[in-house]
Structure 1
Amino acid sequence: MFFIWKKLRMELGEIRCFQHCDRKQNILCFIVPIICPLCGQDLTQSRLRIPPYIIESPFTEADITQCSLVIKPTIGHFLYDFSNNSNLHIGLTDSSGNVYEFDERGVTVGDKTWTHCLSIKILDEHEQLENKWDHSLEQFANEKLWKKECYDENSQNCFDFVLHFLQCFELDRQYSCLVDKSVFCEKMILPATRRAGKYITLYKQIEESQVVIQNAGQ
């Protein structure tokens, strides 16, 4: 399938992928170049094998999620500050996208700084279950166990808050990884951050060189 190239209005920061002269090579960029980096042809005057499409970002805004687990770096921004050694902060959203999180302040609700986070959907959309989730989460957050004086960086932190709630909601029947914190991190948190890491690496490569060439299917 061929596509006649036309100038597109593009938002900065969205990764686009297309093919021009080689079906085995994908061209990735933020803005489609005028000249093909593989063959040197003018793309405004030639056909594309595959038209530009957006590589979906793993990041989202917490307030558009529902009944989900959300993840962000403790300090900074995923795209610019995250590494394999970064500390992570996690929380839970209710059915309206309000984040419940636990840290040295105790439990806070509705913080608006979760604008660039990872999201793992926990509940399928079901009105009765969502109502139960909201009610249970509100009650759970008010327990004495989650007062600020109970916070401990290592033994009573945001991971414990999220894990204990999911266990109390009896989701350990659905998610076997909820047996303890180490398995929970390995099976639920790490896969999400690994996917994010691949996207971040590609994003930074494009920032540096403007265009990245990858083997199709990579």
Structure 2
Amino acid sequence: MEPVVLRVRHECLRDIFCFSLPALCPACHRPLAGGRPHRAPVSVPDPLGDGHGTSCRFLVAWTGRDSDGVAELHAGISDTSGVVYNYTERGVLRERRGWERCLSFPLLRPDAFHLLAQWDGYLERFSRGPSWDPTRRSFCDDSHNCLTFCVAFVNGVLAAEGGHGDVVVHAGDLTRVTAPAVRRAREYAALRRHLRRHPFYVAPSASPPPS
């Protein structure tokens, strides 16, 4: 199990990130644990979660499930039981495993019971469409890919529901809402890599983790 990343802001107003608190503040060299920190240590939450534990969400993972900022992004849609539909060169995959480390974004309002009851049917019928059949149309990294699949599905649901307000993220918003989360996930991964090599990372307040 990965250790928890801790963050503490010392009385010198520097943010210290670590797996375990050092005795002295690395910035000012005064006692840390016993020196009345400006704030108590808090855990830095991992931005990645288990996509198979989600329902009706837009998911973003890294190929190889690695958020190190080098691997390519891959996108999918979860059904009501956590099966992830995602478009690849082999067509639409329906995966019950492999998305344990991903970003997730809700697509429906919590009280959208009418649409929730139809979600799996919409998703399955859409996935069987000719646009996603590899024998009829080929996958293209630039113009016909996993994101194209997700955008087209959301557009299809909106069309079927008459632009229903129960869909909280519209197709045109998918890239916009996910970009900041992807950036934070990459920064978090960079921070963890740094802490595996060094006992702490010191940053000015509001500074990003190391790249």
Q: Flag whether TM exceeds 0.5 (same fold).
A: yes
Identity across matched positions, percent: 26
Residue 68 (structure 1) shift: 0.8
1:69 is displaced (CA, Å) by 0.7
Mapped partners of 1:176, 1:46: distance in 2: 46
**Structure 1 residues 12, 36: closer, same or farther in 2, change over 3 A?**
farther
Per-residue CA deviation, residues 101-133 of structure 1 (Å, 9 max, x unaligned), is 111222121331111111111112223221122
Contact 2:80–2:116 (CA under 8 A) maintained in structure 1: yes
- Give the aligned residue type for 2:147: F
Task: Please point out which of 167, 180, 192 is paired with 2:155.
Answer: 167
CA contact (8 A) 2:8 2:37 kept: yes
Q: Is 1:153 aligned to residue 146 of structure 2?
A: no
Q: 1:93: how far off?
A: 0.5
d(CA) in 2 for partners of 1:51, 1:101: 42
The CA deviation string for residues 40-81 of structure 1, in whole angstroms up to 9 with x for no partner, is 4555554333221111221111012221111112245114xx
Counterparts in 2 of 1:188 and 1:151: CA distance versus 1, 3 Å? farther
Over 3 Å counting, the alpha-carbon distance change for 1:44 and 1:191 in structure 2 is closer
Amino acid corresponding to residue 31 of structure 1 in structure 2: S
SS of aligned partner of 1:169: helix
Can you give the 5+ residue segments of structure 2 that lack an aligned partner in the other structure? Answer: none
Gap runs ≥5 in structure 1: 1-10
More helix by percentage: 1
Contact 2:21–2:33 at 8 Å: present in 1 too?
A: no
Distance 1:117 1:77 in 2: 9
The answer on whether the counterparts of 1:177 and 1:188 sit within 8 Å (CA) in structure 2 is no
Query: What corresponds to 1:78 in structure 2?
Result: 67
Residue 116 of structure 1 corresponds to which residue in structure 2? 101
Report the Cα distance in structure 2 between the residues aligned to 1:73 and 1:165, rounded to whole angstroms.
Answer: 21
Q: Quickly say closer, same or farther: Cα 1:47–1:189, change in 2 above 3 A.
A: closer
CA contact (8 A) 1:29 1:210 kept: yes
Structure 1 pair 21–192 and aligned structure 2 pair: CA distance change class (3 A): closer
Please state if 1:100 is matched with 2:108.
Answer: no
**Which residue type is aligned with residue 99 of structure 1?**
V
Aligned CA distance change for structure 1 residues 17 and 99 (closer, same or farther; 3 Å): same
TM-score in terms of structure 1 length: 0.78
How far, CA to CA, are the matches of 2:82 and 2:96 in structure 1? 10
Distance 2:65 2:76 in 1: 16
DSSP-derived class of the 1:170 partner = helix
Shift of 1:175: 7.2
